[in-house]
Amino acid sequence: MNAIAPVISAHPTATEMLRHLVAFDTTSRNSNLDLINFVREWLDRNGVFNRTSLSADKTKANIHAIIGPHVAGGIALSGHVDTVPVDGQAWSSDPFTLREHDGRVYGRGACDMKGFVACCLAAVPDLVAAKLTKPIHLFITFDEETTMEGAHTLMSDVGASGLKPSLCIVGEPSLMLPILAHKGRLAVRVTVRGKPGHSSEPGRGVNAVQAAAEAVAYVAAEARRLAAEGPFDRGFDPAHTTLHVGTIQGGTILNIIPELCEFVMEVRAIPSDDPHAHFAKFKAHIDAHIAPAMQAIDPSCGFSYEIIGDIPGMGLAEEHELATLTKQLAGSNSAGRVSYGTEGGIYEQAGIPTIVCGPGSITQAHKPDEWIAISQLDECDRFIRSLAGRMVK
């Protein structure tokens, strides 16, 4: 029995529920099992069917809950409960104690995205009482901020259960405006192995830093080409696929030919483009223009690759029934596109049409004194209850 659970009222507000969720330090490097047990206890108290799926090391879990008929179909509301770290950030108060001031609540994860999860959980008693004719599923996941293993694991479990929803709304912060599409993201760690030697005899060694620099120059050139030539999707800013190298390390001292260099690159692709195709083109360039000269000196030299992040893009048609429904519920005449990634692409790959719509702004996430407006929580609460109203007719 979690010590926090008994103090929750029978009909909590979203802010009350959020206070409990923020109190759990679910930074991605930590276990989330205490929070998951707390949520399961709340669902059990309200008679809601729920099941968990565990991470490979069994230190984290997802929840799949079903309110209403215990069948496939219906619509899922999805949110992750892991957060980014607070290390090195200057907070005005304890980041794991929700603080309310001037119409806002502050705390790690309040915006991204425990606020949405809190709205879903606070609505549970009324959703149960509504006697839904179609199910509302709750997806609560781990490790969205890192590997997205949680969503992949959840989809495997949901597929095996035979209880897959027909549609999904991911509650990432969008100021409660519908988001039809986001870019895919492929992140790759590239390791370059050269041959060490004295810098006075460069022909006897293979300079890993210079080989890496040639590869980075290719990435920069491709980024410029895509900006100029496209393909383009004018709903995005920027409207094209982007390539980027974010970190690079290599070498020891100036008079030693560097043996190792490592850099991390990413591709953020519009939904009609394939980030893996750009990565394949990058590797083909290495194999044709950089690696041969290295291996002519020493065959053990060259490049190796590790994919460290792979987020599929998401793209929902403007005329899709989910787009129409979400715009109606949100009171919006339009829907947007964003360049950051969500779990929505994973759900879409699993055959579940998905849209993003949630409280708060992404500009408030990941920062010290992360906050969400209480008015946004109220708007999300109305959205969820309006959705339920569509499912009792």
Q: Quick one: pLDDT band at residue 2, thresholds 50, 70, 90?
A: very low
Residue 109 pLDDT more than 50?
A: yes
**The CATH number of domain 184-311, selected from 3.40.50.20, 3.40.190.10, 3.30.70.360, 3.90.1150.50:** 3.30.70.360
Residue 360 pLDDT more than 50?
A: yes
| pLDDT, position 1 | 36
**Integer Cα distance of 244 and 238 in angstroms:** 13
The one-letter amino acid code at 364 reads Q
Dump pLDDT digits (tens) for 328-350: 999 999 999 988 889 999 999 99
Q: pLDDT > 70: what percent of the chain?
A: 98
Residue 113 pLDDT more than 50?
A: yes
What's the sign of the alpha-carbon dihedral 186, 312, 26, 113? positive
Residue 3 pLDDT more than 90?
A: no
Indicate if 144 belongs to the active site. yes
Q: Quick one: pLDDT band at residue 133, thresholds 50, 70, 90?
A: very high
Q: Choosing from 144, 172, 266, 343, which is the catalytic residue? A: 144
Q: Quick one: pLDDT band at residue 7, thresholds 50, 70, 90?
A: low
The one-letter amino acid code at 15 reads T
**Integer Cα distance of 24 and 36 in angstroms:** 10
**The CATH number of domain 5-181+313-390, selected from 1.10.600.10, 3.40.630.10, 3.10.20.30, 1.10.3720.10:** 3.40.630.10
Residue 179 pLDDT more than 70?
A: yes
Domain boundaries, the chain: 5-181+313-390, 184-311
**Integer Cα distance of 336 and 331 in angstroms:** 14
CA 331 to chain centroid: 25
Residue 107 pLDDT more than 80?
A: yes
Q: Greatest CA span in the chain, whole angstroms?
A: 81
Q: Which helix (H) or strand (E) holds 336?
A: strand 336-338
**Integer Cα distance of 26 and 83 in angstroms:** 6
Determine the average pLDDT of the residues in 182-211: 97
Indicate if 381 belongs to the active site. no
**Integer Cα distance of 28 and 143 in angstroms:** 6
| Token representation of residue 207 | 């300079």
| Token representation of residue 186 | 């492929």
Residue 242 pLDDT more than 80?
A: yes
Contact present, 245 and 219 (Cβ < 8 Å): yes
In whole numbers, what is the pLDDT of the chain averaged over residues?
96
Do 5-181+313-390 and 184-311 have matching folds?
no
Determine the average pLDDT of the residues in 287-308: 98
